[in-house]
């Protein structure tokens, strides 16, 4: 597996936000050990919008990782599968999981919009449309069950109560 880990807010504490672009804060508690643990089992790369060489230097100074970094605009690889080195990149490479403090888990668009736009009310028309679709599905399910029961009844011998 390959695990992608965001830098700011996941590895770098980033308590004051972007500031002047400098990497000013300490590692998040457990971040460096967490990276080492992940690297024992999986290939790991760090993705960032920052200067990749600065991030690589910061990580090396604090964690003495074996690090490879991609200069902005250059492509070192299409996939990352090296468990012995940590890659720092500003590209979104294929990964099994992305660890990011600002991510919204996507399951469907209704859920995503509700998460991203919580103050937006669903319009009355949307609710009416949803209720109509539910009624139609229920009606279709009831009709199908009635047809099934009628076929079953027509195949079994009739019983006359005595």
- Amino acid 41: pLDDT: 97
Q: How far apart are CA 85 and CA 45, in angstroms?
A: 9
In b/e form, how buried is each residue of 120-132, taking b as 16+ CB within 10 angstroms? eeeeeeeeeeeee
User: E strands along 17-160, which residues?
Assistant: 43-47, 67-69, 86-89, 97-99
* DSSP-based three-state secondary structure for 71: coil
Tell me the helices (H) and strands (E) count for the chain, helix number first.
4, 5
pTM of the model: 0.71
What angle, rounded to 10 degrees, do the helices at 31-41 and 52-63 form?
100
End-to-end CA distance of the chain: 71
Task: Split the chain (162 residues) into runs of 10 and give each run's mean pLDDT.
Answer: 97 93 95 97 97 96 95 89 96 96 91 86 62 73 72 62 50
């Amino acid at each position: 597996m390959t695990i992608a880990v965001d830098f700011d807010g996941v590895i770098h504490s980033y308590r004051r936000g972007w500031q002047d672009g400098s990497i000013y804060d300490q590692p998040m508690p457990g971040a460096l050990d967490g990276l080492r643990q992940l690297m024992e089992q999986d290939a790991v790369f760090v993705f960032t919008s920052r200067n990749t060489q600065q991030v690589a230097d910061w990580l090396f100074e604090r964690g003495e990782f074996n690090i490879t970094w991609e200069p902005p605009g250059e492509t070192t690889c299409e996939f990352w599968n090296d468990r012995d080195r940590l890659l720092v990149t500003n590209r979104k490479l294929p990964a099994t999981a992305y660890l990011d403090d600002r991510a919204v888990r996507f399951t469907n668009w209704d859920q995503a919009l509700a998460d991203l736009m919580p103050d937006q009310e669903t319009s009355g028309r949307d609710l009416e449309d949803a209720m109509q679709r539910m009624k139609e599905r229920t009606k279709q399910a009831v009709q199908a069950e009635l047809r099934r029961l009628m076929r079953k009844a027509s195949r079994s011998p009739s019983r006359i109560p005595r």
